[in-house]
Chain A
Amino acid sequence: MAEVALTGISKSFGDEVVLDDVTMTIPDGAFVVLLGPTGAGKTTTLRMVSGLDKPDTGTITIGGRDVASYTPAQRDVAMVFQQYSLYPHLTVRQNLEFPLKSPILQTPQAEINQKVSAVAEVLQISHKLDNKATALSGGEMQRVSIGRALVRQPSVYLMDEPLSSLDAKLRSDLRIELKSIQADSGATMLYVTHDQTEAMTMATHVGVLDNGKLVQFGSPREIYEDPISIYAASRLGQPRINVLPSDVFGGAPNKATHIGLRPEQIKQGEGEDSFVQRVEHLGDQTRLHLSFKSHDLITVTDAHTDLKEGDIIQIRPDKPFFFDASGARIS
């Protein structure tokens, strides 16, 4: 339970600038998701907060205290890595108990038992508690390593793609569980993921990183409905936002070079002809791959549409985004 503030954080490895003047305040109890492709600086940001790496310049405070001189252990953070790290000679139960048995915490055994079984239940590994850690599948090992962070009550959780190695079904169960554990405990969460559904559904705030720079910070709804650039707009939304030259539809403001169209910004059945190239039935919706004046476009229509490959459908923009040559949003 602490506010985490990063001020002017920069970090280079050799010639490569990994973080470039990142300033971000993570409010107490917030669930902040960092989004960006591989190499954007997400994991490095986490490692700075955890104390596993030191920034070249800038300060980090946790709960108002500058933590520059604190070791990772003194920062009261719990980190879950993408690559699970368990004690192979211990059972699942012993692995989960380990953080609570630290001499500093002195947790009574009854409380340990209660916490371990509660966490095991949430993570659906109760039946494996007495197995050796090495006798588990990859997804089970990952759940144990999440569990080892959850049994403690740190002021900050740091998680680096904790769900990426799990099955889709389990991932969607744990998404809801992690979110409610975090909300109930009131701990602050900094979470790295590639998965935008995780970002949309779990985050109170999303930080969009581009090549080491924090380019937008806001609620998922702000980033989706009011993105500041093509880059930020492309982080959220499935299918991804369509970006076309601004003149293909006409009506673009001065200086606009690109028009951005999310599926709901494309009106169907009015406007100009487009050609249906492929129809993907996804169950709850159908994706249309369209060709419009030789530009590719993906939009969404009814699950049981009669449209087929080779059909013609009219489309027109509806309250689109416009961007300038640098990719910045102008309206």
Chain B
Amino acid sequence: MAQIRIENVRKDFGSFNAVKSSTFTIEDGEFFMLLGPSGCGKTTTLRMMAGLELPTSGEIYIDGEEVGMKPASQRDIAFVFQMFALYPHMNVGKNISYPLRSQGMPSAQVKKKVGEIAEILGITDILNKPVGGLSGGDRQRVALGRAIVRDPKAFFMDEPLGALDAEFREHMSEELRALHDRMNATTVYVTHDQLEAMQMGDKIVVMNHGSVEQFGVPQDIYDWPATKFVAQFIGSPSMNFLDFNGMIGKGGNEVSLNDVALNIPKSIDGANGALSFGVRPEHVRLDDAAAYRGRVKATEYLGTTQIVTLETANGDVKARVASSDAVNVGDQTGLSFDARTITLFDAETGQALRSQANEGVLNHG
């Protein structure tokens, strides 16, 4: 088991810069998510950690040892790909034991080890079956078994659930997380699915255009995004941005949107010009008495809750409210915002302004 440290790692493919100087640390035993849209550099980062790509510059440490230029075979990690490849002519047991037999482990020991792994994964009863007739879930378990059996220092997974249908993905993600909790192995997991990242990860790195946008525990990143990109990428529906021209002084706790004063956490940075007032949909309340006004454009039913889209002077705002609330398209209503949860962004750079509420999270990353 291992701690993995990435320091100023950069990767260029010809003139294309895939990963800009990135730095973060994965602690021993963590379930760590690399999250971002396609093309953001998350898979390239993982492949450099695994030794499948060489970094253009920077260092990669596994347990304190610099491995940036070491081949994959000497790093002692196990890689689980999106398309799990099994040996079709071997049965389940042979597939799992292959890495051990190729290392020359005595067969009695191999047998014992495979038995243990099969127990953990709940596939003892299919060890003698050919892999051809297996269900998707069992194939996935066999692929995992082959990765686990070597007792590697870390597991790297590149969208291992991406090809599965929604229902089964949900099931396997719980199973993977439970497996991790039993074995406590350092796991690095690449995904573009923010919900998967929130659900499974101890920590998340959010990447965009080759840069690390934010790094931290899921709830902190959700509550206090460092950039508009993160605020938009995490959460569904994403954070609302009410764009306005205005100012906030150092120590101020109020901004004026469309002549309505709105409270915000006490600001540490001062700013003047194009700003964005960021508020999550669940922190918007429909409140007839509120001075800030909007008109209901659409409602989307989601079971327990509904998403109400409102047109306002500063752009569309989505509110998450109970589906039992009667809301009709065309209604005029007031909107109030939970002042404790607001983040202000510089609309041009997309960076969050520091306040007393988000300071701790932003300084730590």
Q: Report which A residues bind B (CB closer than 8 A).
A: 37-38, 137, 139, 167-170, 172, 194-197, 200-201, 220-221, 224, 236-238, 240, 262-264, 280-284, 287, 300, 303-304
Task: Give the CA-CA distance A303 to B338 in the complex, in Å.
Answer: 14
A167 near B165: Cβ-Cβ < 8 Å = no
Task: Give the CA-CA distance A260 to B326 in the complex, in Å.
Answer: 26
| Given A37-B165, A236-B303, A283-B218, 7 other A-B residues pairs in contact with their CB atoms under 8 A | A168-B194, A172-B236, A200-B303, A201-B301, A224-B303, A281-B222, A282-B198
Q: How far is the CB of A1 from chain B (nearest CB, A)?
A: 22
Q: Report which B residues bind A (CB closer than 8 A).
A: 37-39, 165-167, 170, 192-195, 198-199, 218-219, 222-223, 232-238, 280-282, 300-304, 307, 320, 323
Residues of A within 8 Å of B282, CB to CB, are: 284, 303
Task: Give the CA-CA distance A168 to B304 in the complex, in Å.
Answer: 21
Residues of B within 8 Å of A238, CB to CB, are: 303
Task: Give the CA-CA distance A283 to B193 in the complex, in Å.
Answer: 14
Task: Give the CA-CA distance A154 to B35 in the complex, in Å.
Answer: 39
B303 near A303: Cβ-Cβ < 8 Å = no
Q: How far is the CB of B175 from chain A (nearest CB, A)?
A: 13
Our pick among A168, A287, A303 for the contact of B236 (Cβ within 8 Å) is: A168
B232 near A169: Cβ-Cβ < 8 Å = yes
Our pick among B166, B192, B199, B302 for the contact of A168 (Cβ within 8 Å) is: B192
Residues of B within 8 Å of A38, CB to CB, are: 165
Residues of B within 8 Å of A264, CB to CB, are: 304
A262 near B166: Cβ-Cβ < 8 Å = no
Task: Give the CA-CA distance A189 to B227 in the complex, in Å.
Answer: 38
Residues of B within 8 Å of A167, CB to CB, are: 37-38, 192
Q: How far is the CB of A194 from chain B (nearest CB, A)?
A: 4
Task: Give the CA-CA distance A167 to B195 in the complex, in Å.
Answer: 12
Our pick among A170, A201, A263 for the contact of B304 (Cβ within 8 Å) is: A263
A283 near B234: Cβ-Cβ < 8 Å = yes
B237 near A281: Cβ-Cβ < 8 Å = no
A284 near B281: Cβ-Cβ < 8 Å = yes
Residues of A within 8 Å of B320, CB to CB, are: 284
B218 near A281: Cβ-Cβ < 8 Å = yes
A139-B38, A195-B166, A240-B170 in contact; A201/B302 too (CB < 8 A)? yes
